[in-house]
């Protein structure tokens, strides 16, 4: 980015960040932590941001510890959308804050989630968006959304960077192949004729709409 754009982004970041301490949504909190992670990779000496990172990471960690059960290694009593990001945020924060307990918890949770998200034939089956998947209830299979696939790719690559375990890289690759047709319907979600990405999988077909979120999810997965 040009210096002027970076300066503006920095100003907006500085103004917005103090408000996030009041967030109650764990997904808003985890996306903030992912943003802070990238910011601190460049500006590691910013103590104000580091303090907010420590506060939010501790809060996320405590949610995992409070909810985790032997059969439910998670921070909420349900799964809905962008689930891998919650584990990813804890992994990133654990590495950057030198908190092995955070990193270990995030990796354990992501391992559990990815086991849940792979089908019997070892293709990705992200949590469907038809309804919220509550612990002990039936799991939604459809609609499967590209944004959840991108989250799976990104989180598995983060785990690979932290552990150097090739199994995480393999999970990321298999997750990406969901776009290309390795999914429950055996149909490509990415449209090579337009360069767009269809909006997901219904129970009997792909959603032919090619929205911005879906296309960006494919392109950012490919970029990563």
Residue 197 three-state SS? strand
35, exposed or middle or buried, with CB in 10 Å at 0-12, 13-18, 19+? middle
Share of the chain above pLDDT 70, in %: 100
Q: What's this model's pTM, rounded to 2 decimal places?
A: 0.94
pLDDT in tens, 42-76: 888 889 999 999 999 999 999 999 999 999 999 99
Number of Cβ atoms within 10 Å of the Cβ of 30: 25
Least reliable range by pLDDT among 48-52, 110-114, 156-160: 48-52
The per-residue pLDDT for 43 is 86
pLDDT at residue 30 is higher than 90: yes
The per-residue pLDDT for 119 is 83
pLDDT at residue 195 is higher than 90: yes
| Unique residue bearing structure tokens 């590691």 | 44
pLDDT at residue 1 is higher than 80: no
How far is residue 37's CA from residue 22's CA, in Å, rounded to a whole number?
A: 19
The per-residue pLDDT for 185 is 97
């Amino acid at each position: 980015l040009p210096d002027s754009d970076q300066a503006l982004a920095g100003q907006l970041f500085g103004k917005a960040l103090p408000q996030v301490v009041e967030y109650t949504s764990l997904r808003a909190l985890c996306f903030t932590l992912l943003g802070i992670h990238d910011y601190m990779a460049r500006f590691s000496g910013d103590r104000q941001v580091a303090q907010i990172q420590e506060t939010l990471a501790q809060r996320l960690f405590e949610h995992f510890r409070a909810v985790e059960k032997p059969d439910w290694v998670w921070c909420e009593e349900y799964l809905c959308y962008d689930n891998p990001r919650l584990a990813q945020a804890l992994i990133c924060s654990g590495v950057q804050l030198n908190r092995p307990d955070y990193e270990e918890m995030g990796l354990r949770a992501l391992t559990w989630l990815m086991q849940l998200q792979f089908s019997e034939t070892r293709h990705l089956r992200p949590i469907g968006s038809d309804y919220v998947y509550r612990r002990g209830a039936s799991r939604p299979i459809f609609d499967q959304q590209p944004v959840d696939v991108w989250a799976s790719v990104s989180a598995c690559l983060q785990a690979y960077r932290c552990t150097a375990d090739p199994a995480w890289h393999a999970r990321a690759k298999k997750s990406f192949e969901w776009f290309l047709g390795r999914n429950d319907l055996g149909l490509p979600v990415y449209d090579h004729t337009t360069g767009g990405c269809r909006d997901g999988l219904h129970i009997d077909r792909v959603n032919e709409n090619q929205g911005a979120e879906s296309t960006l999810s494919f392109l950012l997965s490919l970029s990563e």
